[in-house]
Amino acid sequence: MNKLFGFFAMGVMVLTSCSGAQNAEQPWIVDRFDDIKVIRYEVPGFENLTLEEKELVYYLSEAAKCGRDILFDQNFKYNLAIRRTLETIYTQSDVREGDEFVAFEKYLKKVWFANGIHHHYSNDKFKAEFSEAWFREQLAKYINEENRQIEDDLLCKIIFDEKLYASRLNQKEGVDVITESAGNYYEGVNQEEVEAFYNGMAALDANNPEPVSYGLNSKLVKENGKIYEQVWKIGGMYSPALEKIVYWLEKAATVANPTQKEVIEALIKYYKSGSLKDFDDYSVLWVKDTDCNVDFVNGFIESYGDPLGRKASWESVVNFRDVEACKRTEIMAANAQWFEDNAPINPAYRKKEVKGVSAKVITVAMLGGDCYPATAIGINLPNADWIRKEHGSKSVTIDNITYAYDKAAQGNGFAEEFILREEDRERAKNFGKLGDDLHTDLHECLGHGSGQLAPGTKGDELRTYSSTLEEARADLFALYYLGDEKLVEIGLIPSLDVAWSQYSDYIMNGYMTQLSRIELGKDVEESHMRNRKLIAEWCYEKGKAENVIELVKKDGKTYIVVNDFVKLRKLFGELLCEVQRIKSEGDYEACKALVEGYAVKINPELHKEVIERNKALNIEPYGGFVNPEYELVTDAEGKVVDVKITYPANYIEQHLYYGKEYSFLPSLN
């Protein structure tokens, strides 16, 4: 979907995450465990929506919750069986103390957060801190033939054998990324077979100006020597959950305006047929609907979880427009052609005519699937290059989520620990939030929608590196234009200090502070983290001769400082030019060299230092959310007269409730 994940370690808004009740001193934080903080977000402005819009939010939110099981299963084929077993033990146990139980509870919380047994960002399998002997005692006590989801021995082997299903997504150079990844998008096939299968399908579509995204909504399986797709549709794989999603979408259509009703009905048609042509038809209708106040994402959208970038995880976001904040994105959209025409790239790779750029700031009302509990702070859709070129794209910045992050991070000591110069700390304090918001706006609104492919380039040539390169391209576009006087001229920023604040934060995060999210000794695997590291390290190396960026040692601590913001902006432009060339031409070897050379390997000494300094601050590097709850209010005749919103503050209760009320798939699919 071209998401921008906000880690406000890029400045003062660092994610941190107290088991159980809400912290009285930090009312935005509802739970903290391991490397995670759970935050509540509010939905300001919901009370001002019309009754029909409130109902629409309610029905779309129910649909968003109904797809939760799909993501668990996509992430690993035994996830549902494991989650249900763990929940059974947890709810039936009369013990709530002791080291073993506390470790078990933390493990279950992590499984909920990651939608499975692999870390949501590193993709590494979680290590159980409770013993196998203790766990087997719980299985014997609480699991029987009626509630057993998976054989005890297999379950214990999956949880305690560190080498088995070790990574959900393995993108290391030189390995078969299909057989070495535990994600449930493929079974019985290897990388060569997968590539041959989809290359064959794409060849049939070679001259189609509207190419289909083959493989987007299916699992590829080999049985008895035959390779075929199990399509995710009603009547196919994941049908029980999709039937519930469609039920609520049909309810939503009854209160939607005529334009949005057509969009929703097109999505329902796609879920029933499984046809990717129907998905493209829906996507075109969706991207053209720019006047709606309440909007949503619902479907198999994002391909980050597939090592080959074909299969899409299920996700949903329900939202409505933040009218006041939309003024800045409206200015960007109105100037989209100027940005495209002045991009520091080969003119052949610029769009001659920018079409359908729609950008807005939104208030999220519900998160689901691959957007829950952890979510992006910006979204740009659709992904299909031909739709973006012919019909445009929608971009959103999620304001109430960034606001919640900001509130939860206040006073955590991050700036004082990692930002060396007082002038940079002061700049971050004054302009950090605006810089973060504008970076997201530019990344989503214009960055992903910019540029075009060269004739003959299909768009899938970059394979395992495509997501990293695309995120780098959008980030570089945003960074380059943040430092342009044009933004002052059109009233988006008061001065270039906003850009310089973002430049300092970005380089610090990409080069140093994001390393706190990676286990010591591991490489960088996740695409967004690779993107930031690539940009920071490339710019550091290329600017060394002129001391553009400097590594400073003080009192035994390492700091990274930007000495020349203007020259750094020039470097951003030079790298953007090369990254766009690589994408436009499908230059796999150049892409591989760039990613492997700058984005993967970590300096072990620096890595250790960053982890220790971050740990001393008690700052967890990841954050996610609990959703609000909605309730229909009816009169004596049963007619809906209002929708009530409440804000739960218990992470455990929400997930147990979702597991009971929104779990529709078999344990093995």
Instruction: Calculate the CA 240 to chain-centre distance.
Output: 25
pLDDT of residue 16: 28
586: left (phi over 0), alpha (psi -120 to 50) or beta: left
Handedness of CA 319, 323, 325, 331 (dihedral sign): positive
Q: What are the residues facing 167 on neighbouring strands? A: 124
Residue 664 lies inside a defined structural domain of this protein: no
- At 325, is the pLDDT very low, low, confident or very high (cuts 50, 70, 90)? confident
State pLDDT tens for residues 396-445: 888 899 888 878 776 678 889 999 999 999 999 899 889 988 998 899 88
- What's the whole-number average pLDDT of the chain? 92
Position 394, amino acid = K
Residue 608 lies inside a defined structural domain of this protein: yes
Q: What are the residues facing 232 on neighbouring strands? A: 237
Give the residue carrying structure tokens 């150079």.
173
Per-residue tokens: 581: 């060339």
Residue 493 lies inside a defined structural domain of this protein: yes
pLDDT of residue 348: 96
Residue 84 lies inside a defined structural domain of this protein: no
Per-residue tokens: 54: 């409130």
Longest dimension (CA), the chain: 77
271: pLDDT strictly greater than 90: yes
Closest among 377, 581, 348 to 340, alpha carbons compared:
348
CATH classification of the domain holding 44:
3.30.540.30
The phi and psi torsions of 360 (rounded to 5 degrees) equal -155, 160
32: pLDDT strictly greater than 50: yes
pLDDT of residue 19: 35
Residue 319 lies inside a defined structural domain of this protein: yes
pTM above threshold 0.85: no
State pLDDT tens for residues 468-526: 999 999 999 999 999 999 999 999 999 999 999 999 999 999 999 999 988 899 899 88
2: pLDDT strictly greater than 70: no
Q: What are the residues facing 317 on neighbouring strands? A: 297, 367
What is the signed CA dihedral for 242, 248, 253, 256, rounded to 10 degrees? -130
Residue numbers of the domain that contains 246 = 3-53+236-624
pLDDT of residue 12: 33
Residue 305 lies inside a defined structural domain of this protein: yes
Task: Produce one character per residue of 158-174: b if its CB has 16 or more CB atoms within 10 Å, e if not.
Answer: bbeeeeebebbbbbeee
- At 571, is the pLDDT very low, low, confident or very high (cuts 50, 70, 90)? very high
Position 506, amino acid = Y
Per-residue tokens: 198: 């989809």
- Where helices occur in 289-413 by DSSP H, the ranges are 326-334, 336-341, 385-391, 399-409
- Give pairs for 284-288: CB < 8 Å, separation 24+: 284/387, 284/391, 286/381, 286/382, 286/394, 287/356, 287/358, 287/381, 287/382, 287/387, 287/391, 287/392, 287/393, 287/394, 288/356, 288/391, 288/392
278: pLDDT strictly greater than 90: yes
Per-residue tokens: 459: 């768009």
State pLDDT tens for residues 589-604: 999 999 999 999 999 9
- At 26, is the pLDDT very low, low, confident or very high (cuts 50, 70, 90)? low
pLDDT of residue 535: 98
Average pLDDT (270-293) is 96
Closest among 435, 444, 462 to 580, alpha carbons compared:
462
Residue 74 lies inside a defined structural domain of this protein: no
The phi and psi torsions of 531 (rounded to 5 degrees) equal -60, -50
How many domains are contained in the chain?
1
Residue 142 lies inside a defined structural domain of this protein: no
Per-residue tokens: 502: 């973002």
CA 198 – CA 217 distance, rounded (Å): 13
